[in-house]
Amino acid sequence: MSLVLQEPQTEWQGENLSEEAYPEHASARRAKRGILGHARELFRLRHDKSTSRVGLAAACFVGLFSLIGGRLVYLAVTSENTSEVRRAASSEISAARPDIVDRNGEILATDVKMVSVFAEPRNIIDKDEAVELLTAVLPDLDATDLRNKLGTKKGFVWVKREITPRQQAEVHRLGIPGIGFLPENKRIYPNAEAAAHVLGFANVDNVGIAGMEKYIDSMGLQDLNGAGFNISAADLKPVQLSLDLRVQHALRDELAKGMAKFKAKATAGAILDVNTGEIIALVSLPDYDPNNPVDALDKDRINRINVGVFEMGSTFKALTVAMALDSGKYNINSTFDARSGLRYGKFTIGDYHATRRVLTTPEVFVHSSNIGTARMALGIGVEGHKAFLRKMGQLSRLETELPESALPIIPPRWGELNTMTIAFGHGLAVAPLQALMAVGALVNGGVLIKPTFLKRTEAEARQSALQVIRPETSEAMRYVMRLNASVPEGSASSAAIAGFFVGGKTGTAEKVINGRYSKNKNLTTFTAVVPADKPKYVFLTIMDEPQAVEGTYGFSTAGWNAGPVTGNIVERVAPLLSVPPRFEAPSQPFPLMSRLGAWGSNR
């Protein structure tokens, strides 16, 4: 009965009793009960506790993702591998180059965007599998070389530079960890071989190796890249050259035809604006494609106009005649004895086409008399001769924007015999471009203007020009050069294209083979002035070892090959250079020569 009537004791009642019985433990029990109780209460499925549960879960997730995000940021900033990739990418972006354009704005060289494949060897798990997969989609890769690259501990190596979009898609589809892509700038030359020797080329890292490409780097581009500046082609002003792409194509085409016709080993040509010093066109054949410059180092593919040095033969007689006239010791009516050979010790100098008579100054030039020009040089003297050639820029290296240039070959001991032979173009070897520069000064009024491959005005050119001969001497030189093309006995008649009032001079020099002159290997040259009364351009054509062919009657001298080739060039490109044909001869083109009654002025 008492058990039935006994009231059950609840948990809290027991606790209350316990607290009353043991008041010293009450505070500790309440703290423990508070923490556990709140936790139990929080996760009980009660509607009034849902907000707290969501808040705690959100806080946990925020903390977790903040930890992961922080770690990723840390790895991105401090990872050695990623830093190397970033540095490589930065380097490629900064390697952009400015466009190169011709004088009319036509693109000669430009950048295009390409993609290259790189690897992070430390992140590649199965290197053999990676090699097998990559060589399957990029078959030109060397498997051994690639395996060696991936076997290193480097953080960055190139797999293949400049791949196609299809190749990029195939490599991407492989999904190999540690393989990625970087954008690069590739240099493109849309006109292939045109102007190759002037433009030069850039390597796979877009660094200029030769020609104007190397010049651009030397003007500060590489310094900017080295300093870490991220520049694009859009940030750089195009480099405008003096070349005319239309004329360049025409010159190359005519030289190629002449090379084939006369079976020459090589040929070259250039066109110079005599008033500005601008090179309008320059070709040296055989040449190469700067898009794939594997042949650029072939010894036969050098830039013969700027890098080669040659004995220029009789074209050098123009300098000798100008020296004689400008000295005041001789004039246009002076005479020179060419009745017999000129002896000097055991040597005798003779004429190729001997006249065996006394010649006037114009006749010495027209008949290309070795004897007459040798006598002129002897009359001036060794030191006077050297001083004149030095003033004309023939005894020192000609420096232009092109990094490639050559020193002239000067006799170590220059005596009277050297002066006699150099007077008619033997014994002194120069770069054809410096000879062309000198001829430009002979006909433009006597002003020596340093050639340039950059577009400029006549006023800009004259700022650094040097007056080297008198204007009267310049008129005399224009006169004798025109006479040489207009009279039957003149050697330049093969280039006298009707309507363009051409003047010119041929030159044939025996090549030096193993230290001796070869009797059957010639270097022929032709220099033409257009128009001769008021020159605008000088044309130079060189043919290396041309052969006698049908129609040349067994001759291989300049009048039979370099001369007619130059005539074809003049006829084709003069209209492009705003020199239209004139079929009525100018009245009084050389007034001073007419007043002096120079030989041939009444013809």
- Closest to 494 measured CA to CA, from 600, 502, 160, 24: 502
3-class state of residue 80 by DSSP: helix
Cα distance between the two ends of the chain: 166
Backbone angles phi, psi at 338, to 5 degrees: -120, 30
H or E segment and range at residue 324: helix 317-327
3-class state of residue 312 by DSSP: coil
Backbone angles phi, psi at 300, to 5 degrees: -85, -5
Q: Is 514 left (phi over 0), alpha (psi -120 to 50) or beta?
A: left
Compute the distance between CA of residue 45 and CA of residue 38 in angstroms, rounded to an integer.
13
3-class state of residue 32 by DSSP: helix
Strand duo 100-101 + 239-240: pairing: parallel
Compute the distance between CA of residue 438 and CA of residue 274 in angstroms, rounded to an integer.
10
Counting beta carbons within 10 angstroms of the beta carbon of residue 280, is it exposed (0 to 12), middle (13 to 18) or buried (19 or more)?
buried
Peptide bond into 362 cis (omega under 30): no
- Closest to 433 measured CA to CA, from 270, 249, 601: 270
The residue behind tokens 């200029």 is: 208
Cα–Cα distances (Å) from 234 to 97, 99, 445, in that order, read 9, 9, 42
Instruction: Find all residues with CB under 8 Å of 507, minimum gap 6, and list them.
Output: 312, 313, 314, 315, 316, 317, 425, 524, 525, 526, 527, 558, 562
Instruction: Find all residues with CB under 8 Å of 283, minimum gap 6, and list them.
Output: 197, 248, 251, 252, 255, 268, 269, 270
Give the HSE-up count for residue 278: Cα atoms under 13 Å, Cβ half-sphere: 21
Compute the distance between CA of residue 218 and CA of residue 224 in angstroms, rounded to an integer.
11
H or E segment and range at residue 501: none
- Closest to 471 measured CA to CA, from 443, 496, 451, 493: 443
| Annotated catalytic residue, options 94, 116, 284, 314 | 314
- Closest to 235 measured CA to CA, from 135, 95, 370, 98: 98
Helices (H), 330-380: 361-366, 370-380
Tokens of 260: 């084939």
Per the annotation, the verdict on 94 as an active-site residue is no
238-264 per-residue burial string, b: 16 or more CB within 10 A, e: under 16 = ebbbbbbbbbbbbbbebbbebbebbeb
Strand partners, 348: 343
- So which residues are the catalytic ones? 314
